[in-house]
A and B are shown apart, each in its own frame.
Chain A
Amino acid sequence: MTEFGDVPEYLLTVEGLKTHFFSRSGVVKAVDGISYDVREGETLAIVGESGCGKSVGALSIMRLVSSPPGRIVDGRVLFDGADLLEVSESQMRTIRGNRIAMIFQEPMTSLNPVLTIGKQITESLELHLKMQGAEAQKRAVELLEMVGIPDAPSRLKQYPHQFSGGMRQRVMIAMAMSCNPRLLIADEPTTALDVTIQAQILELIKNLSAQLGTAVIIITHNLGVVARYADRVNVMYAGKIIERGTAIDIYENPQHPYTQGLLDSVPRLDEDRKRKLESIEGMPPDLMNLPAGCAFQPRCKYAIERCVEETPPLLTVGDGHTAACWVTAGSTSEVGA
């Protein structure tokens, strides 16, 4: 993390990214104009309820949104001086798995069932690092050991079904880290795992990123994860970022009613255990027919007339802390970045 006053080094800058899905019944605005940046080595969390566009936003960075029906309709993704939305497909392939790597939610189905773990790890090494034979094999063993898989040489010859869920996610992490990426995108890496294993996997990601200096975007709908592992947080709702700040800002001083609602729905370590957990009332909006004004307004107990008339932009509420709400952030602040 950069100290206050330093010029932040942006590894990734996303500007006005819009990814829509076009179907016969209409346009789903899965990601609708999000802007954020990721600094070298930091961990950024993206949180929000299921279906708010977190995965689509991440896949857009890698240009892996299935098309048709999906299309990135607008925006820029600046990585290392280039706009990833403009580079050629073959240039993009030299970035995927090499400079930006990704791990997914379902370790059970994210590995190819008919290829050995060794093959799946070494193919990245062969492709990007031009390693061959024994050298790639040796590196694959190191990688498995690095992610805490015992008995690595013989494990390399095995297939995914011979691994437990947690072990498979470790394999995914080994694969993702194999070419020493600058950025790791982890899309709900622990959602499908047992609670006890979740913590181990998150610790592993955290330690590796610290050790190797890898920046991490961790996508989750679990705010507990955020508090512990993230430096900064983007809260998403209906395809937009509605609040952004440091993990401490978001956890201790949430400004958007939606963020507050999310926090009320998870148990907190620093509070009375008997507090009743409240989930946010109502349903997430239909991305094909968004309500007028603020997308959260129909579910919001503070909503005023202006919320229906005008969509709130991200408004500055503190140093590096912005929220898109007329009520809680609108009174005192100006339009933020």
Chain B
Amino acid sequence: MRTYAIQRVLLLIPTLLVLSFIAFALIRFIPGDAALLMTEELGYAPNLEKLQERLGLTEPIHIQYFKWVGGFFRGDFGRSLWDGSPAADELVRRLPVTLELAFFSLFLSAIVAIPIGVFSAMRQDTKSDYIVRSTVVLADAVPHFWLATLILVLPAVYIGWSPPVGWHSLSEDPVKHLLLLLLPASIISVSSAASLVRITRTMMLEVLRQEYIRTAWSKGLSERSIMYRHALKNALIPVVTVFGLRVPNALNGSVVMEAVFGIPGLGRWTIDAIHFRDYPQLQVALMFTAITVLIANLIVDLAYGWLDPRVRYR
């Protein structure tokens, strides 16, 4: 297991290289660059070629790439093309906000969905099971932004009140901080919760058919310990996989909710970077989002070992 973990960590390096290439290339497919915007659209500077040269955009593309990657791996994340500020400064302020929102929503979906999935499997084909399953179908079909709009607009229209939006830093007022995060996080968690309920239910039903569950019953254990001690730990392995797969979705949801709820995360900043062709800013945003997903996947892989001794001792 330890060698496996080390291998998995080492594998991050080539993955990151490939990612850096994609992040670098992606934005350059969009026509136009920052210099063009500055001169032609905003009348910011008179001479296009000179400006492009100053911003380093005239250098051969592979040189630009290697310069950036070299810097990146040394911890130099480049400077904004527009105001020259180090891209890392802003990132350090914004990334934690997005991560907090994304993982708070994932946490919420897990603590709600897993017990519901277990309950639904325990009561298979009863009325409660049908209610859970229909709710899941519904929850899966609702887009984040629609739900958010509904929640913000409907009470405003009918009772003249709408949920508070905005942002309070954790150090300033922890309670207010969490309260303000709760609504956007819940909205993001809906679709993840739906997938988690579905996979938990399916896997529990599968596990409950296994012979070791019959053994557990034959020992006189209570339904509760059979479900949670004997069955859930076996069922959890694919649930964790789905949990890992929901990380990109949660990040994506955070970006949308940041816009709706006025939260100063990566979302707005990334969109601006695309808009203004601020290559270094976008690259660093993409890289850190990707690194987050990679680390989450790594944790999921290592969690298999924790859950399944057959993996641990391989």
Contacts and interface: CB of A to CB of B under 8 A. Distances in A.
A and B from one complex: yes
B309 A110 contact: no
Contact of A113 (B216, B217, B221, B234): B234
Contacts of A96: 217-220
Contacts of B220: 92-98, 124, 127-128
Contacts of B308: 113-114
A127 B222 CA distance: 10
Interface residues of A, number: 30
Contacts of A23: none
B218 A64 contact: yes
A113 B310 contact: yes
Nearest to A62: B218
Given A93-B220, A128-B220, A112 B313 contact: no
Interface string B212-255: 10111111111001000110011000000000000000000000
A221 B236 CA distance: 37
A97 B313 CA distance: 30
B63 to A, nearest CB: 53
B3 interface: no
Contacts of A98: 220
A102 interface: yes
Interface of B is mostly: helix
Contacts of A101: 218-219
Contacts of A161: 309-310, 313
Interface string A120-147: 0001100110000000000000000000
A87 B230 CA distance: 25
A106 B215 CA distance: 11
Given A96-B219, A112-B216, A161-B310, 7 more contacts: A94-B220, A96-B220, A115-B229, A116-B309, A123-B219, A123-B225, A159-B313
15 contacts: A96-B218, A96-B220, A97-B221, A104-B211, A104-B215, A110-B214, A111-B212, A111-B215, A113-B212, A114-B233, A114-B307, A115-B229, A123-B219, A159-B309, A161-B313
Interface of B: 210-212, 214-222, 225, 229-230, 233-234, 307-310, 313
